[in-house]
Structure 1
Amino acid sequence: MSSEILHITERSLWEAARASGAYTMSTRGRTLEEEGFIHCSSRRQLPDVAAFLYGSYAGPDELVVLVVDPDRLDVPLVYEAPKPGAEEFPHVYGPIPAAAVVDVEAWAPVRD
Structure 2
Amino acid sequence: MMIFHVVSSEDWSKFEGKSIYEADSLQTEGFIHLSERHQVAGVLDRYYRNVPDLLLLHVDPARLTHEATYEAAPNGELFPHVYGPINKDAIVQIETIDQ
Normalised by the length of structure 1, the TM-score is 0.81
- Tell me if the contact between 1:17 and 1:98 (Cα under 8 Å) persists in the aligned partners: no
Larger Rg computed on CA atoms: 1
The one of 92, 96, 106 aligned to 2:82 = 92
The one of 92, 95, 99 aligned to 1:105 = 95
In 2, the alpha carbon distance for the partners of 1:11 and 1:97 equals: 18
In 2, the alpha carbon distance for the partners of 1:73 and 1:11 equals: 22
* 2:67 equivalent to 1:76: yes
In 2, the alpha carbon distance for the partners of 1:97 and 1:18 equals: 13
Normalised by the length of structure 2, the TM-score is 0.90
- Tell me if the contact between 2:25 and 2:33 (Cα under 8 Å) persists in the aligned partners: no
**Paired amino acid for 1:76:** E
Query: SS at 2:46's partner residue?
Result: helix
Question: Identity, % of aligned pairs?
Answer: 37
Computed over aligned residues only, the root mean square deviation of the Cα atoms, in angstroms, reads: 1.5
The one of 1, 4, 7 aligned to 1:6 = 4
Structure 1 stretches of at least 4 aligned residues deviating more than 4 Å after TM superposition: none
What is the number of equivalent residue pairs in this alignment? 99
Could you report, residue by residue, the CA deviation over 1:18-65 in whole angstroms, capped at 9, with x for unpaired residues? Answer: 42211111xxxx4311111000001100001011111132x3xx1110
Query: SS at 2:98's partner residue?
Result: coil
- Tell me if the contact between 2:22 and 2:32 (Cα under 8 Å) persists in the aligned partners: yes
Unpaired stretches in structure 1, ≥5 consecutive residues: none
Which residue of structure 2 aligns with residue 64 of structure 1? Answer: 55
Unpaired stretches in structure 2, ≥5 consecutive residues: none
